[in-house]
Amino acid sequence: MCVLQWGIRMRLDIHKDFPILDQNIHGRPLVYLDSAASSQKPKAVIEAMTHYYEHDHANIHRGIYTLSERATVLHDQARDRVKQFINAKSSAEIIFVRGTTEAINLAAHSYGRSQLRAGDEIIVSVMEHHANIVPWQMLAASVGAHIKVIPLLPTGDLDMENYASLFSPRTRLVAITHASNVLGTVNPIKKITAIAHAHHVPVLVDGAQAVPHLSVDVQDLDCDFYVFSAHKMYGPTGIGVLYGKQALLENMPPWQGGGDMIAQVSFSGTTYAPLPAKFEAGTPAIAEAIGLHAAIDYIETIGMPAIMAHEAALMAYAKTRLGDIPGFRFIGMAKEKVGVIAFTLDDIHPHDMGTILDRSGIAIRAGHHCAMPLVMSLGLPAVARVSFGIYSRRADVDALVKGLYAVKKVLA
């Protein structure tokens, strides 16, 4: 056991819960520093999904037989677990989708196309991931709406004064990230929703980078939609969540049609199922929902306060060690950050850095990080990024520091 700041105890052997981390890449122990792109999976998640396929699989809401009933119960339990995890009021507010991207597309299609008209406005920020830009651009193009963009302060924080000034009588939606996938900046969502609600404008929050690192309480944030993916929070790929306030979801038209989302079908007219089924046409990702359930259990067994303390301590250590490297420059120095560090090193292109580090077993991200407007606004063609997870250790930072000195040597 190791005693961290604030007296929170966390197991030192968390690394061992993740089988994939126990391997060599190019003959060197894997140092995985790309958790913001996708986290690795603990044995508990892998086993939960395997167990389901080996013992409980059948289609849900179908059979009157035992297996189908078991699968249905497990799927429902996963939804209830998500409801609890983000403190939604009701499980009917939890819509399972393929991931964050699909959740935003669902909101843009269903809410957007039914509510927005020509001349209406959508507010986004310059730090958004492409997933929280392009669906709104497509919506804007189809209905004749406009997009307004909140700029950043030099620290990497949102310019909140500018944000407040962007509202007009035509503003219909704010779509904003909870935490930036490049800068790590955590945005003041409560303030953002309060300002929007004063103008009677709903807020969609992209929580993809926040859910693995922060306690999220959608009622406390008072956001209207909250979206995230399982695979960035130690769960499987292929499943994510659209949370929406029940009254909003009730009034939204279905997005995709098919089985499971109907009450009654006839050629003279079809009636739709109540929430959440209305938005879940077709056989869902059942095993993935069970994997997500296991991931939440895993996170909560360790405890979000312990995770936050661990990541804060690791970030402090990384800032000191990396800051000592000559030519190392941090990009984005917001006060509140998740475990993400974007940087440049001398004038070395991040792609060259990534290739050289990979030969030392170190996985980092290089490029525009699916946030081209942000990276271009920084005046850089590309940046390098390291990001931490629950399993990241000081030894990973030490390996990175050593690797970056090797990069400098190769390209000297």
Closest CA to 242 of 134, 130, 99: 99
The HSE-up count of residue 188 (CA atoms within 13 Å, CB side) is: 15
The token pair that represents 91 in the structure block: 């499980």
What phi, psi does 171 have (nearest 5°)? -70, 130
Quote the tokens at residue 330.
């941090």
Given 30, 370, 371, 384, the catalytic residue: 370
Closest distance to other proteins from the beta carbon of 150 (Å): 23
According to CB under 8 A, which one of 211, 295, 366, 400 is a site residue for other proteins? 366
**Nearer to other proteins among residue 198 and residue 376 (C-beta):** 376
Q: Which of 69, 352, 377, 398 is in the footprint of other proteins by CB under 8 A?
A: 352
Nearer to other proteins, 299 or 374 (CB): 374
Q: Does 141 bind other proteins (CB under 8 A)?
A: no
Confirm if 63 and 69 have CB atoms less than 8 A apart. yes
Q: To which H or E segment does residue 287 belong? A: helix 286-302
Q: Does the footprint of other proteins cover residue 356 (CB under 8 A)?
A: yes
Which segment (11-19, 76-84, 296-304, 361-369) binds other proteins by CB under 8 A?
361-369
Q: How many Cα atoms occupy the beta-carbon half-sphere of 226 within 13 Å?
A: 28
The rounded distance, in Å, linking the Cα atoms of 364 and 366 is 7
If binding is defined by CB under 8 A, does position 123 make contact with other proteins?
no
User: Does the footprint of other proteins cover residue 133 (CB under 8 A)?
Assistant: no
Among 375, 386, 390, 404, interactor with other proteins by CB under 8 A: 375
Q: How far is the CB of 314 from other proteins (least distance, A)?
A: 27
Whose tokens are 């699916």? That residue is 370
Please say which residue, 194 or 376, places its beta carbon nearer to other proteins: 376
370 assigned to active site: yes
Binding of other proteins at residue 287 (CB under 8 A)? no
The token pair at 28 is: 């060197």
Q: Among 350, 361, 389, 403, indicate the residue that binds other proteins (CB under 8 A).
A: 350
Pick 307 or 383: Cβ nearer other proteins: 383
Selected binder of other proteins within 9, 16, 26, 190 (CB under 8 A): 26
Residue tagged 């189809």 (tokens): 142
DSSP state of 223: -
Q: Which residues fall within 8 angstroms of residue 54, CB to CB, at 6 or more apart?
A: none
- Contact in structure between 330 and 343 (CB atoms under 8 Å): yes
Residue from the set 8, 363, 382, 401 that interacts with other proteins by CB under 8 A: 382
230 vs 236: CA distance, rounded Å: 6
Q: Is 303 in the site for other proteins (CB under 8 A)?
A: no
Instruction: Give the Å distances, CA to CA, from 221 to 178, 188, 217.
Output: 10, 9, 6
403 interacts with other proteins by CB under 8 A: no
Minimum distance from residue 326 beta carbon to other proteins (Å): 17
**130 touches other proteins (CB under 8 A):** no
The residues that are catalytic are 370
Which residues of the chain form contacts with other proteins (CB under 8 A)? 26, 349-352, 355-356, 359, 366-368, 372, 375, 381-382, 406, 409-411
